[in-house]
Amino acid sequence: EAGVTQFPSHSVIEKGQTVTLRCDPISGHDNLYWYRRVMGKEIKFLLHFVKESKQDESGMPNNRFLAERTGGTYSTLKVQPAELEDSGVYFCASSGDTRNEAFFGQGTRLTVV
């Protein structure tokens, strides 16, 4: 069974550009989470989807970040326009039930220059 996959694995963009990260959860998992780790700091929660609905988006830093999960399958996280402080590793995780373990993808390393 395929795990959580994220694309791209690395992205380097200039300040002001747009970047879209993609996450494919484990098939059948209704819960999908986005997290990010900024250099030297802990991994922090961004938002939580249950199927296509945003259950909790309290961790989204500002309106430059837009997450979608059309059809309740894969999810995208768009950053527009990107700023230098957006650099970090963005992780996606999925779980079949909110009480169960969340399985993480390998992360997307975003570098804004």
Partner 1 sequence: KNQVEQSPQSLIILEGKNCTLQCNYTVSPFSNLRWYKQDTGRGPVSLTIMTFSENTKSNGRYTATLDADTKQSSLHITASQLSDSASYICVVSSMTGGGNKLTFGTGTQLKVEL
Residues forming contacts to partner 1 in the complex (CB under 8 A) are: 4, 31, 33, 35, 41-45, 48, 50, 55-56, 58, 91, 93, 95, 98-99, 101-107
Which residue's CB is nearer to partner 1, number 76 or number 104? 104
Name the minimum Å distance from CB 66 to partner 1.
Answer: 19
Name the minimum Å distance from CB 19 to partner 1.
Answer: 19
Which residue's CB is nearer to partner 1, number 15 or number 44? 44
Name the minimum Å distance from CB 79 to partner 1.
Answer: 20
How far is residue 14's CA from residue 9's CA, in Å, rounded to a whole number? 17
Name the minimum Å distance from CB 103 to partner 1.
Answer: 8
Contact of 106 with 90, CB cutoff 8 Å: no
Which residue's CB is nearer to partner 1, number 59 or number 81? 59
How far is residue 69's CA from residue 94's CA, in Å, rounded to a whole number? 13
Residue-by-residue DSSP string for 4-62: -EEE-SEEEE-TT--EEEEEE--TT--EEEEEEE-TTS-EEEEEEEETTEEEE-TT--S
